[in-house]
Amino acid sequence: MKHWFSDGAFRAIVRNASILGSSNVVSALLSLLALGCAGRGMTPALFGTLVVVQAYAKTVSDIAKFQTWQFVVQFGTPALAHKDIKRFRDVTGFSFGLDLASGIVAALGGMILLPLLSHSVGISTEDFWWALAYCTLIPTMTAATPTGILRSIDRFDLIAVQQAVTPFLRAVGSVIAYFAHLGFPGFLATWYVSSLVGDIALWIFAVQELRRQNIDHALRPGLFGPARRIKGAWDFVWTTNFSHSIWSARNAGTNVLVGVMLGPTAAGLFKVAMTFFDAAGTPASLMQKSFYPEIMRLDPASTRPWKLGLRSGALAGGLGVLVALLVFVVGKPLISAVFGAKYLESYSLLQVMCGALVVSMAGFPLESLLYIASRQRAALVAQGLAALIYVGLLIGLTHHFGIMGAAVAYFGGQCLEAFFFLIPTLSSFRRRHTLSFYKPEEVQE
């Protein structure tokens, strides 16, 4: 382990994950305060409407969202490493143009579909116009270019600051709305403004950092021109978009399927278990955010990024084992204290899902390693195949074994996803000598 930390890239991954982690803890506490005020300041029905409105906008943005931050890291980080500013401008310009186009299309699509879906998702007629207004936030929710810029320039400290802006403003606004008895409009306005300001802050940080780096005209939007000068641009953005859409639909659809199969009570229990599962898996998600930009600075034809992935996965897997043991010890009293004794059945589900936690944390580097090997289509196939089999397992096991079958299906789905990612990753490692780190000819007009 001491030898691992002698590697500067490995130290950077752990350092950046720690920076994001400190911000994540503060954000989680502030978010809990905001939710508590909203839950106490409104009726359960209005609180549910607030959650549904926010979830609807997020779902629309997630489906339409291109993972432009990944594109900037994938193509922009090597350009910066070689001081090819022209190439970096093309990357960020294309990314920004894609954010603008997808954001406008997503917002219009969300507004057009809302009248057709509002009744189905539980938005009443009197709250419809509030929900429609909230959809104007979708364009900023789809934009990921500034995140990619800050990650490429290694300014994770600014990302950590920005991550606390929205929860802080939402907590302050929710406290005001609660004591001033502003009701549903007050809380919805608080959520809207806090999200908007947080997104704007990210853009401000990115622009300031570009100026500090003396990189001008980096946010001049363009699509077809820059794409012609960046080999594989469209293939990468469409493939990662489809992959993220599958991931989003899978996560959002799990509770829906459990509810359809077993009813809303079971869906609630599974949601409680998933909430703790997601919280426990935070270390891996933070490491992934810092791992991907770091390996993009390394030559994929060498063994270094692959060893870095192995070490990072081993560290995350070890943390996963410790977190799983912690869940076994404190999970039951924690669920009882936070959600009440009537949700204690979810602890049994969480025990089964702890195995999935270790697998997902240990396997987090696999997707990023496929991207540096330009195997994004293999990642898409792995994601899609795992999701398809998981849905089949979820339906079948839930039908025969009830809610415990859903937990077993989730564990099986995580194992399958890791396995399907591992196969092409091993193949890419064996053929690493055919991979190229940087091609100067791609930046020529």
% of residues, the chain, pLDDT over 70: 80
pLDDT at 230 over 80: yes
Distance between CA 300 and CA 278 in Å, rounded?
31
Specify the pLDDT at position 426: 92
The answer to whether 97 and 221 have CB atoms below 8 angstroms apart is: yes
Q: Which of 24, 61, 194 is nearest to 140 (CA)?
A: 61
pLDDT at 146 over 50: yes
Distance between CA 278 and CA 273 in Å, rounded?
9
Q: Which residue has the tokens 């199969």?
A: 261
Distance between CA 16 and CA 22 in Å, rounded?
10
Alpha carbon distances (Å) from 158 to 29, 80, 144, 235, 354: 19, 19, 15, 30, 32
- Residue by residue, DSSP assigns 182-210 as -HHHHHHHHHHHHHHHHHHHHHHHHHHHH
Which token pair is 393? 């397992």
pLDDT at 429 over 50: yes
Torsion, CA 200, CA 202, CA 205, CA 210, rounded to 10: -100
Q: Which residue has the tokens 């300031």?
A: 208
- Residue partners of 320: CB distance under 8 A and separation at least 6: 281, 283, 284, 357, 358, 359, 360, 361, 362
Q: Which of 192, 78, 77, 212 is nearest to 140 (CA)?
A: 192
Specify the pLDDT at position 445: 38
Specify the pLDDT at position 438: 53
- Residue partners of 111: CB distance under 8 A and separation at least 6: 132, 135
- Residue by residue, DSSP assigns 142-162 as H--HHHHHHHHTT-HHHHHHH
Burial of 419 (0-12, 13-18, 19+ CB in 10 A): middle
Mean pLDDT (whole number) for 357-365: 84
Helices 345-362, 264-280: axis angle to 10 degrees equals 40
Residues 53-72 pLDDT 10s: 777 788 788 778 887 888 88
Mean pLDDT (whole number) for 62-83: 82
Distance between CA 398 and CA 256 in Å, rounded?
13
Q: Which of 80, 24, 44, 2 is nearest to 283 (CA)?
A: 24
> The pTM is what?
0.66
- Residue partners of 288: CB distance under 8 A and separation at least 6: 364, 365, 367, 368
Residues 35-50 pLDDT 10s: 777 777 777 667 767 7
CA 232 to chain centre: 23
**Which of 23-32, 209-218, 348-357 has the weakest average pLDDT?**
23-32
The answer to whether 151 and 73 have CB atoms below 8 angstroms apart is: yes
The DSSP code for 437 is S
Confidence of residue 108 (pLDDT cuts 50, 70, 90): very high
- Residue by residue, DSSP assigns 38-99 as HHHHS-HHHHHHHHHHHHHHHHHHHHH---HHHHIIIIIHHHHHTT-HHHHHHHHHHHHHHH
Neighbours of 39 (CB within 10 A): 18
Confidence of residue 196 (pLDDT cuts 50, 70, 90): very high
List the Cα angle 149/375/250 in 5-degree steps.
Answer: 80
Distance between CA 243 and CA 310 in Å, rounded?
23
pLDDT at 128 over 60: yes
**Which of 95-99, 124-128, 378-382, 414-418 has the weakest average pLDDT?**
124-128
SS3 266: helix
Distance between CA 31 and CA 169 in Å, rounded?
10
Distance between CA 297 and CA 79 in Å, rounded?
9
